[in-house]
Amino acid sequence: MSSIRFFFTFILPLLFFSFHTQSQNKDSIALRKNFDYYLTKSNCYKNLEFLSTKIESRLSGSPGAAKAVIWTKQAMYEAGADTVYLQPCMVPHWVRGQKEVCASIHNKTKKQITYSVCALGNSIGTPKTGINAPVIVVNSYSQLDSLGEANIKGKIVFYNVYFDHKHLSTGTCYGETVTYRYAGPSKAAKYGAVASIVRSMSSINNDFPHTGVMGYDTVLTKNKIPACAISFSGADKLLEELKNNPSLTLQLKMNCEMLAKELSYNVVGEIKGTEKPNEIIMAGGHLDAWDNGQGAHDDGAGVVQAIEVLAMYKKQNIKPKHTIRAVAFMNEENGGAGGKAYFEDTKKNNLKHIVALESDAGGFSPRGIAIDTIMGAYKTVLSWKPLLDPYFVQYIKIGGHGADIQYLEKIGVPLMGFEPDGQKYFDYHHTADDTFDKINKRELELSAGVIGSLIYLIDTKGW
């Protein structure tokens, strides 16, 4: 073997390996330091406590949302942002009004039985006197179609669809059933239903009804009917009552209404890059939350994790090469106006994003990272798996990102979604039980640390 060939065959790979290993070691030390910061000095838990418990509920258009915008701006400055922009967007302003009533009269005792329900977001209310009508139970759209107008007209359709617990991902359970919440009301209205009730998209059996957005399909039917969700145990109780008295009359009162649109904002905090200030690395979550709970897991967690990315740089005195952005999106829950406004602004100003990452699956222990992107970037992140593995990143997979960043895909921005352990997410999701006391400090910090460390690796190593 020639000495040159010997060099290329044996020595160069060793040098490369040594260089590669040194580089990995350096990254490994940097990440360890970073997690020391997150686990002992970060502010995300305290920030989430404030956002969840000191500001009233923050559904788009509400006074709470307006206060949350002001607080987030301040929190981003305190975390170390050079600049914080308020990015305007017009948002729907839906209000629940007085607590909903859903009741029937027991067949024999003649006592009133009440069920825990909540109006779905964007639904119209009932007349002030409520709706009194018999109930028809429907287990699928095909059953709805077979029943048809003859059986449905004048009745309240009760979509009784369960999570299929065989799925390992609770997101899949949700994805399979959420159509009955979103599109069910108009499909029922087409056959003359007077209201729609859906079994809550819940992974556990308790008495919290789960709200969430619905939409009227005005192409399908001009008939808009009130739509609500019933708690899991309330649904069981209603089925039991219907077994004893199939023709019972259900009373439903909902006081919700859609008001005029309001001006609101995304909050965008920035630390300018030292080498490539025109290239943006972005981490975000959404600031709006359903009005029935505190929006601690959905998605206060994502917001404070994004804010903490700024603090990670500032408090450790690390200067990012690229511009780092933390974004708190408005109106993810019932319209997506913030995500659209961010996309329009990005396009208009021809801003280059290296990556957009969203965390919108709760503040639980880390589990994985999802990427929708060009293969090169995926492979690069996959090569960082050994660095992230000690911090409970089990997988890096293709496919999956938050709703607010979806539009950026059109202009070729690689999208990422942070995925925490999801087994409990749909226990709390969109309920009055999504409160700060369901957040574990270490779990929130570890997940924030994974997000920060990913941003750090992308900034220092790029694609």
Judge contact between 431 and 350, C-beta under 8 A: no
Residue placing its CB nearer to a copy of itself in the complex, 131 or 296? 296
Q: Is 159 in the site for a copy of itself (CB under 8 A)?
A: no
Q: Is 365 in the site for a copy of itself (CB under 8 A)?
A: yes
Provide, rounded to whole angstroms, the least separation between the CB of residue 208 and a copy of itself. Answer: 14
Q: Is 394 in the site for a copy of itself (CB under 8 A)?
A: yes
Helix (H) or strand (E) holding 184: helix 184-190
Residue placing its CB nearer to a copy of itself in the complex, 226 or 362? 362
Q: How far apart are CA 44 and CA 55, in angstroms?
A: 16
Name which position in 46, 106, 385, 442 contacts a copy of itself (CB under 8 A).
442
Provide, rounded to whole angstroms, the least separation between the CB of residue 363 and a copy of itself. Answer: 11
Marked catalytic residue, from 49, 241, 270, 332 = 332
* Angle of CA points 77, 81, 84, to nearest 5°: 75
Residue placing its CB nearer to a copy of itself in the complex, 216 or 456? 456
Residue placing its CB nearer to a copy of itself in the complex, 355 or 446? 446
Residue placing its CB nearer to a copy of itself in the complex, 367 or 401? 367
Provide, rounded to whole angstroms, the least separation between the CB of residue 249 and a copy of itself. Answer: 35
Q: How far apart are CA 207 and CA 211, in angstroms?
A: 13
Angle subtended by helix axes 44-53 and 63-79, to nearest 10: 160
Q: Is 288 in the site for a copy of itself (CB under 8 A)?
A: no
Q: How far apart are CA 187 and CA 350, in angstroms?
A: 41
Q: Is 274 in the site for a copy of itself (CB under 8 A)?
A: no
Residue placing its CB nearer to a copy of itself in the complex, 204 or 318? 204
Distances from the Cα of 42 to the Cα of 38, 126, 139, 337, 417, angstroms:
5, 47, 47, 31, 22
The site for a copy of itself, by CB under 8 A, has a size of 27
Query: How do 131-138 and 322-329 pair as beta strands?
Result: unpaired
Provide, rounded to whole angstroms, the least separation between the CB of residue 76 and a copy of itself. Answer: 25
Which 30-49 residues touch a copy of itself, going by CB under 8 A? 35-36, 39-40
Q: How far apart are CA 70 and CA 66, in angstroms?
A: 7
- Part in contact with a copy of itself (CB under 8 A); list of ranges 92-100, 273-281, 305-313, 423-431: 423-431
Q: How far apart are CA 431 and CA 55, in angstroms?
A: 17
Q: How far apart are CA 256 and CA 59, in angstroms?
A: 13
* DSSP code at position 384: T
Judge contact between 90 and 336, C-beta under 8 A: no
Q: Is 318 in the site for a copy of itself (CB under 8 A)?
A: no
**Within 13 Å and on the Cβ side, how many CA atoms surround 383?**
16
Name which position in 11, 12, 15, 168 contacts a copy of itself (CB under 8 A).
168
Provide, rounded to whole angstroms, the least separation between the CB of residue 396 and a copy of itself. Answer: 12
Q: Is 441 in the site for a copy of itself (CB under 8 A)?
A: yes
**Annotation marks residue 332 as catalytic:** yes
Provide, rounded to whole angstroms, the least separation between the CB of residue 355 and a copy of itself. Answer: 24
Q: Is 101 in the site for a copy of itself (CB under 8 A)?
A: no
Identify the CA nearest to 395 among candidates 380, 381, 410: 381
Name which position in 391, 407, 418, 456 contacts a copy of itself (CB under 8 A).
391
- Pattern 179-218, a copy of itself, x by CB under 8 A: ------------------------xx--------------
Which two structure tokens, joined as six digits, stand for 142? 């095909």
Q: Is 114 in the site for a copy of itself (CB under 8 A)?
A: no
Residue placing its CB nearer to a copy of itself in the complex, 93 or 430? 430
Distances from the Cα of 95 to the Cα of 98, 196, 243, 305, 385, angstroms:
9, 18, 34, 28, 45
Identify the CA nearest to 234 among candidates 211, 195, 200, 196: 200
Residues near a copy of itself, by CB under 8 A: 35-36, 39-40, 165-166, 168, 170, 203-204, 365, 367, 389-392, 394-395, 421, 423-424, 427, 440-443, 446
The catalytic residue positions are 332
